[in-house]
Every structure is written in C-alpha cells, then in structure tokens.
Structure 1
C-alpha cells in the first residue's frame, strides 16, 4: 500500500480539502435513523434478548458484549429494532454529558443471538463504507463538533439530532474510503490482539497471586490461623513488627523536579526534594483512594494523603513481596465507611499478614514482578499503537496524506 502527500487542495466552508473530495452532511449518508429499544423486564419461560446500553460503549468506540442487559422484546418489535452487522450505535441521551454523541460500530459476533441497543441507531447507505464512517465519528473532527454542541447547550443530556444530522463530513472517493477503513482496521486488530494478551496475562497474574500468596512454593503441610490456612512454616505477624509507618507530608511540586511524589493514587507529580531514600518504599493510600498500595524506589516524596514505610526490617521482609501481598489483601475493604474513606496508621500497624521466610518472599516477588514487566511491555505497545492510529486518522481523514488506489 502506497501513500503520498496531497498538494492539490480547494477552499471550502470548513477549510481546505483535497480537490477530488466532497463535503456531505451526515443525514445524506444514512438510510435508517431511529431510537433503540429498552424492552421490559424478563419473564420466566418467555424469550428475552441481550440489549446493549450506553455504558457498554467504550471511550474508543468499541461495543462490549460481555455485560449486556437481558430484556423482553415484543415479537412485533424484533425485526424493526434488532441490530444488523455494520450498524452504528450512538449515545443520544445520558446522565453524563461527556457520553453524548459517542458512536460505536456494531459487529455481530456470529453467535446466533439477536442484539438490540437501548439508545439510538443509524444504518448507513450501502454505497457508504460504515467502517469508514465509524472512524470518522471517532476522530477529532467529530469530537470538535460535539464540543461545539456542548457550548451551545449547557448541561447537554440529549443529543440535538437536527443539528447532529447536519454534521459536515469530508468524503473521499469510494475506493479510498475503503482503503482508509482497511488501514485503520488493521491497526485496531493489532490493538485488540494486544488487549487480549494483557487480559490473559492479568488473569495469569491473578491466579498466581492467589496460589503463591496463600500456599507458597512447594509446601506440603498447612495450618489453620486467625487469617486462614497457610503453610506450616509461615508465621502470622503484625505489620508494626516488620516496618515503621509514617504519614506523608505536603509536597512542593516542581516543574524541574525528578523525584516522584506519591499520593494515594500513585505518582501525582515531581519535586526536587526527597522525603525518604530507601531501596524500596511502601506507600498506602490514607484518604481518598484509601488502601491503594504502591511501591516506590530510591528517592521519593510521599504526600499527606498517604502513609509510607519510613524503614523496615530487611532480615524479616522483602518489601516487593509485601507490596504484592497487601495488593492481594485489598486494603480498601477496610477503609472507614464515611464520606471520605480513610485508613489509619493504627489499623495498619495492627494488621495481620502471613510471613514466609525471606528467601521465599524474594522468589514469590520475583515471579510476580516478571509478569508485571511483561504487562508493562504490552501496555506500552498498546499506547504506541494507539498513537499510530491517532496520527493516521488525523492525516488520512483530512486528506493531508492520501492512499494510492489502483
């Protein structure tokens, strides 16, 4: 596939576009435009159907079918409202204004089910590539248009359809539309494959954490304790016996600093000073994202909405192991049930944990950190692919870069 830089443009009402492209309104590309259907509560013994909701559409325009609602649709409505492969579903009403206008392409999973959408559906004319239009409705050109609608309607909760249908689209020739859709779809498939690898690796990590942090490595004998069944050689200890905890302090954020500032949610900025300089520092959210656990390395600062390990007994605990163990314990479950959930030092100091021998802690942390490294590589690969996709959309959908069509 060959690309070339366009040099032959014409001036139009929406800016400069390639001379052989045209401007059309969205309404002229649509053969069907209708509300979706929500249906009724299912009745035992009667047929029900999966209904996609606006919350099943992701920020990047994908339809997630794993958690659809199950609803009863009257027989007389099935043919009219059922989704067809290539339909575009649109969030036309929502309690969240940032969701209004979000569009996704429905690709039938070939599972013999009949799907419905609860909100708004458009079906594209056969001569128009629905995949191309889907990408256009997930480009900055469309998002800028949605922002302009937001500015003219404070607190927008319903899509103003008359104005929306007049959205102006820059349309390439048919063969080029198809090529653009193919290119972007290829990148999407690579992103999806990466997503699947990440999901599979996360499932592996979850299973290994369950196994390693409760049964350890190679143990045959177990004992019952106040925190559950653990290997016979392990101890049960309070956190205060292996580390000293301290509240963080208000940081001085600096634009030129290189020392990470950890808050309850993780790294929140950088500074030029450090509060602690250890090989590892355990950070636990105190208020806000209370119970969230992070692991700092070297020089770090900890803000006043978090608690940190000032120092620890290196003969008793390998801090990366404790990081994984406390993540597994889900400390957020123990935060106070108040408007602003909080976890205190007093609670943490008396919190009971299982404690293997130091060597086993190091082995367990090593296994889990290897998986985290793989996850980090895959997440960076996904970010790279998303940047490539965004760059290609910006160039191909505006005609700045053209696809050579035979």
Structure 2
C-alpha cells in the first residue's frame, strides 16, 4: 500500500541518471594523477586524483561486480557531496525534481537487486542502465525525503563515530600488546625483558585421532577455532569417516595455513579439526590467555615469518618450523598480570562492538519504518521528529 502523498514509480521516471559524468581511467593512470579528489568505484573510494568531473551531491550504485548478493550485510549504494569522480563500473545518480540522491542512497542501500541483474560470468553480475531504470522506488514529497534523510544521517554519524572509536581502541590494544610483550619497548621503559624459551619446551603437537563422535571445528583467522555448526557461512563438510581428524581440547592452539600472516588460533572447544592442521598443547603450566594474545601479536607473527621464510603460500607450517621459535615464558604470576591488562582492553572493544551491532540493527529497523511510510515524519519550522 502506497502511503498518502507518496508515489510508487521507477528509477527511470523519478531519478536523474548522469553516467555521462563518469571518468573511466585505469590504475596506472590514477597513480600518475594523484591528488585530493576521491575516485569512486561501485563499493567505495579507489584512490584520489588531481581532477574532478562531478561537483554536486550524488549517489552511486554498482553497474557490475560480485557484491550484489551481499546486500544484507554490505551497502549497495554510496553517497557524496562535492568534487569527485566515479569510474565506469558504477551508475551516477544526481538530484532531480522528484528524487534526492540521499533518498536513492537510503532506498537501495540494502535492497535485493537480483531481479534486475544479468549474469556476467561465474559469481559476477551486471546492473545495466536499462535494468536500473526499471527498478521500483517509493517516492515521498521532496521535503519529506529530506527530513527522513536527516534522521537517518544522525544514525549514520553515530555509527561512524563508534566505528572510529573501535578502530582507535584496537590500535591502543596493539600498542599495549607491543609494550607488554616485546623486548625493545620493555627495555625503553626500564622493564626487564620477558624470559624466553624454545617453543618445543612449552608446547607439544597433539595428534590424537579416532574420535568420530566429536563435533567438527573450523579454524578461522577472524573468530578462532569454533564449531562448524555455529558459522553462518558455507563450509565444506567431510565425506565419510572423520577417524583421521585430530582431537582439539579446550585450551589448545592450532597452526593454520595462514598462520604466517595472522598468528595461531585458540580453541575454547573440544572437537575435531582436519589432519592438515597442527594442534598444539601445553606441556608446562601456562596462562592460556597470555599465549592467546601473544600468538596474535606482531612480535610473534614477525618471528614466525622469519622462521618459515621460503615456505610458499599454501604449504602447512609444521611443528618443526614452530618448535625452534623463542617464546616468552615469564612466571605464571606475570603471565596472569599481563593477561589481565590485555583482557580488560579486549573487553572494552567487545562491548563497543556489541553497541555497534545494536546500533546498526536499530538503524535497519528505523529504515524499514521510515522508507516505507509506516512511520511518518512531521516537520514544524524548528523541529524534525519521527512520529509513530
């Protein structure tokens, strides 16, 4: 049902598509034209150049790419005001009598465009100008568009500020890890460097097998070692017996194919992992959180990279490669104290990430109400407010 005063129409009938303003240049050309004006692709700023084709408010929606199917988690549109450029892989939407760029930006931000897409090879899709023109859009009066956009912009700013806070908190945590665990900053601060021992004296490889009844675990750089059943992404499940899979106990660490880039992964779960992984268990008393943080530190990843230099991408790092590394092994009291400080920093980041998740969910719910007219706005001269 179309709200009173609104119009159900198409992009072609209501919006100004200005693809003549696009500026298609390749990476090499952009590098020779380095400057201050943003150069947009379909999903973000690719670089900055010394030239601009656009000097007005505009929205961008992709013409081709593999991002269209990620509309629930990734924005399909971009918005900008000022001097800029857009490449030929995106459509440019300018202001029109009926539709503002900001309204277009919010309307299609998380909208499923699949019905208007054509295939362009495996995993790639194309939104032609004709397909774009045929997309349906609900249009309120221009002043109502602007007020709704202002409300949503307030949420955008809050989300942006919280994202920046999280980025800064992560930088502070990395700096704290460096100052607590690396030799050079400890010396500069007049602290005693941490006692070190060979990894082989602290950890041993666990190769226990024949535990078919246990749950399968996945080893992921972004989330660690987690049950496969908990993932919302596609994972390859083994065919046949898992008797050859390795046992992982809670508190174990796992060396993955990408450990030389992202460190070792920690498991809070008991289960099975592929025999391609190396499972590490402690042979001496340790504080698990101490090594959980250390195995993700720049100090450890740098030492590991040196130890495995020459190993090509795709080859598993072996226990022998790991065993000769010099690892910190301070007293358990010092391990506990360092862990406490790093866990506190981690806890702050987790809390902020949860706040960000809730803020994004609230914004999505608000968009669903405001962009469909289920909640209308009233706008007296000095006030803009959402009205139930």
Shared fold (TM-score, shorter chain, > 0.5):
yes
Instruction: Calculate the TM-score normalised by the size of structure 2.
Output: 0.74
C-alpha separation between the residues in 2 aligned to 1:189 and 1:179? Answer: 15
- 1:132-151 deviation per Cα after TM superposition (whole angstroms, max 9, x unaligned): 221001133xx2xx211336
- 1:175-197 deviation per Cα after TM superposition (whole angstroms, max 9, x unaligned): 43233222222221221111011
Cα distance change of structure 1 residues 310 and 89 upon mapping to structure 2, 3 Å threshold: same
Residue 306 of structure 2 corresponds to residue 319 of structure 1: no
C-alpha separation between the residues in 2 aligned to 1:288 and 1:384? Answer: 31
Cα distance change of structure 1 residues 47 and 172 upon mapping to structure 2, 3 Å threshold: closer
SS in 2 for 1:237: strand
Displacement, 1:210?
1.7
SS in 1 for 2:316: coil
C-alpha separation between the residues in 1 aligned to 2:211 and 2:148? Answer: 48
Q: 2:200 pairs with 240, 252, 256, which one?
A: 240
Instruction: Calculate the TM-score normalised by the size of structure 1.
Output: 0.72
Cα distance change of structure 1 residues 70 and 104 upon mapping to structure 2, 3 Å threshold: closer
Q: What is residue 41 of structure 1 aligned with on the other side? A: 29
C-alpha separation between the residues in 1 aligned to 2:310 and 2:277? Answer: 15
> Over aligned residue pairs, what C-alpha RMSD do you find?
3.7
C-alpha separation between the residues in 2 aligned to 1:387 and 1:268? Answer: 25
Q: What is residue 228 of structure 1 aligned with on the other side? A: none
Q: What is residue 149 of structure 1 aligned with on the other side? A: 116
Residue 181 of structure 2 corresponds to residue 195 of structure 1: no
Q: What is the correspondence of 1:21-40 to structure 2 with a 5 Å cutoff?
A: 21-31=6-16, 33-35=18-20, 36-39=22-25
Displacement, 1:125?
1.5
Contact kept? 1:88, 1:121, Cα under 8 Å: yes
SS in 2 for 1:88: strand
C-alpha separation between the residues in 1 aligned to 2:211 and 2:378? Answer: 55
Greater relative contact order (CA < 8 Å, ≥ 6 in sequence) = 1
SS in 1 for 2:358: helix
Displacement, 1:249?
5.9
SS in 1 for 2:99: coil
Gaps of 5+ in 1: 1-15, 58-62, 109-113, 223-230
Displacement, 1:377?
0.6
SS in 2 for 1:17: coil
Q: What is residue 238 of structure 2 aligned with on the other side? A: none
Contact kept? 1:91, 1:99, Cα under 8 Å: no
Contact kept? 2:253, 2:266, Cα under 8 Å: yes
C-alpha separation between the residues in 2 aligned to 1:248 and 1:147? Answer: 47
Contact kept? 1:238, 1:351, Cα under 8 Å: yes
SS in 1 for 2:347: helix
Q: Which stretch of structure 1 is more off in the superposition, 361-370 or 371-380?
A: 361-370
Q: What is residue 50 of structure 1 aligned with on the other side? A: 37
Displacement, 1:38?
3.8
- 1:351-371 deviation per Cα after TM superposition (whole angstroms, max 9, x unaligned): 222333332222222111111
Tell me how many residue pairs correspond in the alignment: 346
Q: What is residue 236 of structure 2 aligned with on the other side? A: none
Residue 369 of structure 2 corresponds to residue 369 of structure 1: no
Q: 1:208 pairs with 139, 153, 176, which one?
A: 176
Contact kept? 1:87, 1:121, Cα under 8 Å: yes
Contact kept? 1:253, 1:269, Cα under 8 Å: no
Q: 1:387 pairs with 337, 341, 361, which one?
A: 361
SS in 2 for 1:399: coil
Q: What is residue 147 of structure 2 aligned with on the other side? A: 179
C-alpha separation between the residues in 2 aligned to 1:398 and 1:193? Answer: 27
Contact kept? 2:6, 2:141, Cα under 8 Å: yes
Gaps of 5+ in 2: 231-245, 381-388
C-alpha separation between the residues in 1 aligned to 2:321 and 2:8? Answer: 64
